[in-house]
Amino acid sequence: GPSTPCPPTPSTPPTPSPSCCHPRLSLHRPALEDLLLGSEANLTCTLTGLRDASGATFTWSPSSGKSAVQGPPERDLCGCYSVSSVLPGCAEPWNHGETFTCTAAYPESKTPLTATLSKSGGSRPCSGLCSVSWFAKHIPSLPPPSQSWAPVLMPSTEGN
């Protein structure tokens, strides 16, 4: 049947077989130059590893009143399909730190996949762990409290 897993053969590359497809959803942030130029910044949501790309649907939140454009399915080297959805005109909410969510539903799974992305957060697909990955990403970048930091924190002590 189509659900048989690939035989574990780590030594040789796997034979191209659609049954090896593992659907994954990824959300790509707008191009920096588009944001800087203030032109139409797009978010791209890509569903890869499909056995069959027909019937895949994408839902965006928020959609900002725009209609997302779904591209034609593309076949990869493994014989699996990928399909993308592009949400145009999201520069303003993106720059305001809005969090975008892309949900992809497809016939071979009863559970849709969801990916979340915001300007401040990471671009990894996540379910409920976005804030955790955000903290993990940003906390280490804080400078350690040191003597040189003190005047910046307490300007009121100057000139006393």
- 19 has a pLDDT exceeding 70: no
Residue 142 belongs to a domain:
no
CATH code (residue 109):
2.60.40.10
Residue 125 belongs to a domain:
no
Residue 145 belongs to a domain:
no
Residue 8 belongs to a domain:
no
- Give 115-145 pLDDT, tens digit per residue: 999 988 654 444 444 444 444 554 445 555 5
CB atoms within 10 A of CB 159: 5
Decide if 82 contacts 104 (C-beta within 8 A).
Answer: no
Return d(Cα 58, Cα 142) in angstroms, integer. 37
Of 54-68, 80-94, 136-150, the poorest mean pLDDT is in: 136-150
pLDDT band at 149 (very low <50, low <70, confident <90, very high): very low
Residue 71 belongs to a domain:
yes
Residue 135 belongs to a domain:
no
In this structure, what token pair is assigned to residue 149?
A: 């930091």
Total domains present in the chain: 1
* Domain that residue 50 falls in: 21-118
Element (DSSP H or E) covering residue 139: none
